[in-house]
């Protein structure tokens, strides 16, 4: 079955702009989590959506937001971009059942200039 699909793979944006990233989970998975990966901080949890509801949120400013649609696809938005937002943004889907089984997408590499 198809894996987790993230689009776009690469993005270059200017400070102050906003950006929207997309994540399509594995078919049947209702949970989508987002992570920011940087060399210094590793993988940091942004938020998780399950059945169109945000379940958890990490310690990121309000400029980072997300949503989930009825087909479980999720988007995350970053407004007023800062240089420090440059990172690899990964999403992971999970069936949220006994097996958990978080599967990651290939990520979106965001560069803010």
Binding site for other proteins (CB under 8 A): 33, 35, 41-45, 48, 55-59, 90, 92, 100-107
Min dist CB 80 to other proteins, Å, is 25
Nearer to other proteins, 81 or 110 (CB): 110
What is the Cα–Cα distance from 30 to 27, expressed in whole angstroms?
Answer: 8
Nearer to other proteins, 13 or 45 (CB): 45
Beta-bridged to residue 10, according to DSSP, are: 109
Backbone phi and psi for residue 75, each to the nearest 5 degrees, phi listed first: -125, 145
Nearer to other proteins, 41 or 70 (CB): 41
Min dist CB 17 to other proteins, Å, is 25
Nearer to other proteins, 50 or 75 (CB): 50
Task: Find, among 41, 22, 2, the residue nearest to 91 by Cα.
Answer: 22
Task: Find, among 56, 54, 53, 52, the residue nearest to 71 by Cα.
Answer: 52
Min dist CB 5 to other proteins, Å, is 11
Q: Please check whether residue 9 is in contact with residue 110, taking contact to mean a CB–CB distance below 8 angstroms.
A: no
Min dist CB 25 to other proteins, Å, is 14
């Amino acid at each position: 079955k198809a894996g987790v699909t993230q689009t776009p793979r690469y993005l270059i944006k200017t400070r102050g702009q906003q950006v929207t990233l997309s994540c399509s989970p594995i078919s049947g998975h209702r949970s989508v989590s987002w992570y920011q990966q940087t060399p210094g901080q590793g993988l940091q949890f942004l938020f998780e959506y399950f059945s169109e509801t945000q379940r958890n949120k990490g310690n990121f400013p309000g400029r980072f937001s997300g949503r989930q649609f009825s087909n479980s696809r999720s988007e995350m938005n970053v407004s007023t971009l800062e240089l420090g937002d440059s990172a690899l943004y990964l999403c992971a889907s999970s069936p949220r059942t006994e097996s958990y089984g978080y599967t990651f997408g290939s990520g979106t590499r965001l560069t803010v200039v």
